[in-house]
């Protein structure tokens, strides 16, 4: 895969990808911090420390998740106890929430995230969803009447300014379709380095993968296991009979089959587990491979989204239907 190289920092040698524009190295397997239902700061911090100890070096948070603060505390403690020498050994992603997705609010939002994280810079800052909402209101789900169309030009320019100021090494988007990415690319001075979307064997995003590859954008998977147990996901991936069959034959878990498959597709992956055994087994995917036959079987699985994006649809607009949100990619 273009831009991929072996890790020098991670004890487990998680392969890394050199992001376009910034040249920053992103570990291709990262740790998600969004728990559903939320578990509180102390448990989050403990899980993150365990993850650092096990070898995770890439952490995904967002102002929405309420995990920036515990992540910041875990980083300080990891340095204090010698798990890592400095923050530079980590790759930290955070995201701009919809109510801050207004040109003049982007920089203050990033500064707040940095304060929560007690960091001087992020490695990656993403627009969380391609929609804005009324400024000053931090709520989820967003009230239907509070949605607003995003001024992509103004917001993206502000994101570019954040990178120029050195407050984030790279910028990108999340939950963007090919069409919406194309809209950004049409005027971007700094193109998005990453698009973070739902991606797993049941929703493989083949069209978006092609588009991102052609445009030098790293597609990164959230819900790679289908986000079982969360309000946005389901158990359909981990309960898929074909995946269970392949896992049994190979002596792996279904989760490992999903993660290995995603890795072999040349994308980034974010997986969340706050359970130490599962955190560890989710990392054990780099010293074996799937057979061509298994990959073909997985690639032929009938496709449907698990995370519909229904929470971002409003009769008041800008997206009246999921068709409009995903530009038909459903």
Which listed residue (48, 52, 96, 271) binds ligand NAP by CB under 6 A?
Answer: 271
DSSP 8-state class, residue 203:
B
Closest CB to ligand NAP among residues 5, 36: 36
Give yes or no for residue 230 binding ligand NAP (CB under 6 A).
yes
Give yes or no for residue 234 binding ligand NAP (CB under 6 A).
no
Of 58, 50, 64, 52, nearest to 32 by C-alpha is 58
**Is there a binding annotation on residue 58?**
no
Nearest distance, CB of residue 198 and ligand NAP, angstroms: 7
Q: Give the CB-side neighbour count of residue 246, counting CA atoms within 13 A.
A: 26
* Cβ contact 70:45 at 8 Å: yes
Which listed residue (50, 132, 253, 314) binds ligand NAP by CB under 6 A?
Answer: 253
* Cβ contact 224:258 at 8 Å: yes
Which listed residue (10, 16, 33, 116) binds ligand NAP by CB under 6 A?
Answer: 33
Give yes or no for residue 224 binding ligand NAP (CB under 6 A).
yes
Closest CB to ligand NAP among residues 6, 239: 239
**101 CB burial (10 A radius; 0-12, 13-18, 19+):** buried
Q: The tokens of 251 are what?
A: 């002596």
Of 79, 34, 15, 25, nearest to 52 by C-alpha is 79
**Measured between alpha carbons, how far is 213 from 300 in angstroms, rounded to an integer?**
21
Give yes or no for residue 262 binding ligand NAP (CB under 6 A).
no
Closest CB to ligand NAP among residues 2, 303: 303
Give yes or no for residue 319 binding ligand NAP (CB under 6 A).
no
Closest CB to ligand NAP among residues 33, 50: 33
Give yes or no for residue 226 binding ligand NAP (CB under 6 A).
yes
Give yes or no for residue 217 binding ligand NAP (CB under 6 A).
no
Tell me which residues in 48-77 interact with ligand NAP (CB under 6 A): 60
Which listed residue (110, 227, 246, 283) binds ligand NAP by CB under 6 A?
Answer: 227
- Which residue's Cβ lies closest to ligand NAP? 32
Tell me which residues in 125-154 interact with ligand NAP (CB under 6 A): 128
* Cβ contact 16:27 at 8 Å: yes
Which listed residue (112, 236, 276, 278) binds ligand NAP by CB under 6 A?
Answer: 278
Q: The tokens of 239 are what?
A: 């309960």
Computed from CA positions of residues 152, 157, 162, 163, in that sequence, does the dihedral angle turn out positive or negative? positive
Return the active site residues: 65
End-to-end CA, the chain: 27
Cα–Cα distances in angstroms (integers) from residue 303 to residues 118, 220, 231, in the given order: 41, 18, 20
Residue list, annotated binding site for substrate: 128
List residues binding ligand NAP (CB under 6 A): 32-34, 60, 128, 174-175, 196, 222-230, 232-233, 238, 253, 255, 270-275, 278, 281-282
């Amino acid at each position: 895969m273009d831009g991929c190289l072996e890790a020098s920092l991670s004890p487990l040698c998680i392969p890394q990808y050199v992001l376009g524009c910034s040249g920053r190295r992103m570990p291709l397997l990262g740790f998600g911090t969004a728990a559903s239902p939320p578990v509180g700061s102390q448990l989050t911090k403990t899980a993150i420390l365990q993850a650092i100890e096990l070898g995770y070096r890439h952490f995904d948070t967002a102002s929405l998740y309420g995990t920036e603060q515990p992540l910041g505390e875990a980083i300080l403690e990891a340095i204090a106890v010698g798990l890592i020498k400095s923050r530079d050994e980590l790759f930290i992603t955070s995201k701009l929430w919809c109510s801050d997705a207004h040109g003049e609010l982007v920089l203050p939002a990033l500064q707040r995230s940095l304060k929560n994280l007690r960091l001087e810079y992020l490695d990656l800052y993403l627009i969380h969803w391609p929609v804005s909402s009324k400024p000053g209101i931090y709520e989820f789900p967003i009230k239907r009447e509070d949605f607003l169309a995003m001024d992509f030009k103004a917001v993206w320019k502000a994101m570019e300014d954040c990178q120029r100021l050195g407050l984030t090494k790279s910028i990108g988007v999340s939950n963007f379709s090919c069409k919406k990415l194309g809209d950004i690319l049409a005027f971007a001075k700094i193109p998005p380095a990453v698009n973070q979307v739902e991606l797993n064997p049941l929703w493989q995003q083949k069209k978006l993968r092609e588009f991102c590859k052609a445009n030098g954008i790293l597609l990164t998977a959230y819900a790679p296991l289908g986000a079982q147990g969360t309000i946005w996901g389901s158990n359909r991936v981990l309960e898929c009979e074909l995946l269970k069959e392949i896992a049994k034959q190979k002596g792996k878990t279904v989760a490992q089959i999903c993660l290995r498959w995603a890795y072999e597709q040349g994308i980034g992956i974010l997986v969340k587990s706050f359970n130490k055994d599962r955190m560890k087994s989710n990392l054990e995917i780099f010293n074996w491979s799937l057979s061509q036959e298994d990959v073909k079987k997985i690639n032929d699985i009938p496709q449907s989204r698990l995370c519909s994006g229904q929470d971002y649809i409003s009769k008041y607009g800008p997206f009246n239907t999921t068709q409009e949100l995903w530009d038909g990619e459903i």
